[in-house]
Chain A
Amino acid sequence: MNGILITNNPAAEKKYFGSMKTIYLENTDYIHILYSVRDKIHEGHKLLTHPLSGSVKPNQTPYKSIVISEEKGQLDFDSLKIIEDSITIAKKLLDEKPTREYSQKILDDFQLIDLDLITGGIESMRQF
């Protein structure tokens, strides 16, 4: 299975640039990564990893990495449902309590966790 990584995490971009198709959206916030993925799903891509990976909440970490299928087909309603539900939950938490400013050290740790979670997903994807 071939996937496209959509991310605002520089650590994920650095690790996967060159080894898989990557859309790096620098300076894009968490919710807009989800919106970008939703747009791609409407274009016919399938969701391959869960948008709300990790127990670090959408209003806690600024980083999000998601993998979608490289192939396009008919609109996949399962993918659409998952991304729409994820947007609803993320928006609710962000509206109530927006993400804060962090020091670089903490941003590095958030990047590390996001990278580790998406790496698990990519490793599963690359089994076959």
Chain B
Amino acid sequence: MRLELGKIQIKDVQFGKETKVEGGVLYVNEEEIVNLVLEDEHIKSVKVELAKPGEETRITPVKDVIEPRVKVEGRGGIFPGVINKVTTVGEGRTHVLSGAAVVTCGKIVGFQEGIIDMSGPGADYTPFSKLNNVCLVVEPADGLLQHEYEAAVRMAGLKTAAYIGKAGANVTPDTVETFETKPLNESAVEYPNLPKVAYVYMLQTQGLLHDTYVYGVDAKKIVPTILYPTEVMDGAILSGNCVSACDKNTTYHHLNNPVIQEMYARHGKDFNFVGVIVTNENVYLADKERSSNWTAKLCKYLGLDAAIVSQEGFGNPDTDLIMNCKKIEAEGVKTVIITDEYAGRDGASQSLADADKSADAVVTGGNANEIIVLPAMKKVIGTLDFVDKIAGGFDGSLRPDGSIEAELQVITGATNELGFNKMSAVTF
């Protein structure tokens, strides 16, 4: 499967009469976005606001971040099984509005989280401060239940990202990157002397505000399966995970998964990147046993020499991570695992809820318990009403002057477990 990603660099976003890209500027028609979102009867109102890098703006509570993309050649459309037909994607050509994003906000539950600061110290911890963001603040219809509200916000974001993405269909990209994964036998013949390596992609799948979708399927109901890495770039994996802002994978993270990017960069040189195994992180322990058994089985079946395993979330998924690691290693396949830490404010405590001696190659995305002070911002997109109640906040988190003292947990993407951040740790 071969995919060209044509990246159109977006340097600014503005409201305009027509949604289009011109001279690196993304113009969006506010009314058309509002009308699109309000097609859903579950939504009472939506406010469209723009947030640009360097502005004194705070966006919260963030639910998802989505990069606008459009398929211009090849089968299917972006976000298959949800926005477009459930056609297998990942080949042909896709245009990306690189540097732009749709950010959804909604107070689905009373304890809220997810802060993106567009400037100041908090901006350093989130990759989304560097983007030109089209923010949707979504208010539910009266009496709407939380499940329906979450689904409505999720769909509003995806629809808007697909709508904006279409503006890039006829624009000549600034760069075109090509990614190709061949069927297993062909790649083994092509690279007979390179180790075979796959990516085990663990998805958050525990329930309301903790879900992920693969081709529109609730991933808690899948058994581990194999994807071409390029399918992920076309939106085969979508986030419905809103809890734990620092280490949830937004849809933007999935589309731009840095593990996949890095593995492609080394494909054919250091190793043969044969594909992606997606698996889940369920609450029921027998589901964990089954999924980790199958993941290890698929690693063996593919004849792997090594696997990179990334986790999503805290606590419960630590058990899935270690089960995967132990069982894959027991099949004679080396692993490197990627996680983050809840190691106390000083970083000295035990980081994970599980451990095993086979987990001897670990990459961390940072310590989510670290304390940060975020200065007041001139503009708030969304609401600060719940900042005291956000995960990682505490009584007095929101100070009278509008500044916030909280743990890094509050910042969207701060300790991302795909490595889409700047923090880590090195031992010597």
| A positions within 8 Å CB-CB of B | 1, 47-50, 52-58, 60-61, 82, 85-86, 88-89, 92-93, 96-97, 100, 102-103, 105-106, 108-110, 112-113, 116-121, 124-125
Distance between B397 CB and nearest chain A CB, rounded to angstroms: 10
Residue in A52, A55, A96, A124 whose CB lies within 8 Å of B284:
A124
Chain B residue, CB-CB nearest to A123 = B284
Residue in B287, B319, B350 whose CB lies within 8 Å of A88:
B350
Residue of B206, B350, B395 ringed by the most chain A CB atoms within 10 A: B206
Distance between A60 CB and nearest chain B CB, rounded to angstroms: 6
Residue of B147, B209, B283 ringed by the most chain A CB atoms within 10 A: B283
CA distance A96 to B347 in the complex (A): 12
CA distance A93 to B210 in the complex (A): 21
Contact (Cβ within 8 A) A96 B206: no
Contact (Cβ within 8 A) B315 A118: no
Contact (Cβ within 8 A) A89 B146: no
Contact (Cβ within 8 A) B345 A120: no
Contact (Cβ within 8 A) B315 A52: yes
Residue of A50, A60, A109 ringed by the most chain B CB atoms within 10 A: A50
Binary interface encoding of chain B residues 320-364 relative to chain A, with 1 for a CB under 8 A from any of its CBs, else 0 = 000000000000000000000010110001101111000000000
Contact (Cβ within 8 A) A124 B286: yes
Contact (Cβ within 8 A) B243 A55: yes
Contact (Cβ within 8 A) A50 B391: no
Contact (Cβ within 8 A) B284 A103: no
Contact (Cβ within 8 A) B353 A109: no
Indicate if B208 sits at the interface (CB-CB under 8 A).
yes
CA distance A69 to B252 in the complex (A): 40
CB within 8 Å of A: which of B84-118? 109-111
Q: Give the A-B pair count, Cβ closer than 8 A.
A: 129
Contact (Cβ within 8 A) A116 B208: yes
| Chain B hits for A47, CB < 8 A | 285
Distance between A86 CB and nearest chain B CB, rounded to angstroms: 6
| Chain A hits for B206, CB < 8 A | 53-55, 117, 120
Contact (Cβ within 8 A) B353 A86: yes
Contact (Cβ within 8 A) B314 A52: yes
| Chain A hits for B286, CB < 8 A | 1, 48, 124-125
| Chain B hits for A117, CB < 8 A | 206-208, 210, 283
Indicate if B60 sits at the interface (CB-CB under 8 A).
no
Binary interface encoding of chain B residues 231-270 relative to chain A, with 1 for a CB under 8 A from any of its CBs, else 0 = 0000000000101100110000000000000000000000
Question: What would 7 A/B residue contacts be, using CB atoms closer than 8 Å?
Answer: A49-B283, A49-B285, A52-B318, A53-B315, A57-B342, A102-B110, A120-B207
| Chain B hits for A119, CB < 8 A | 207
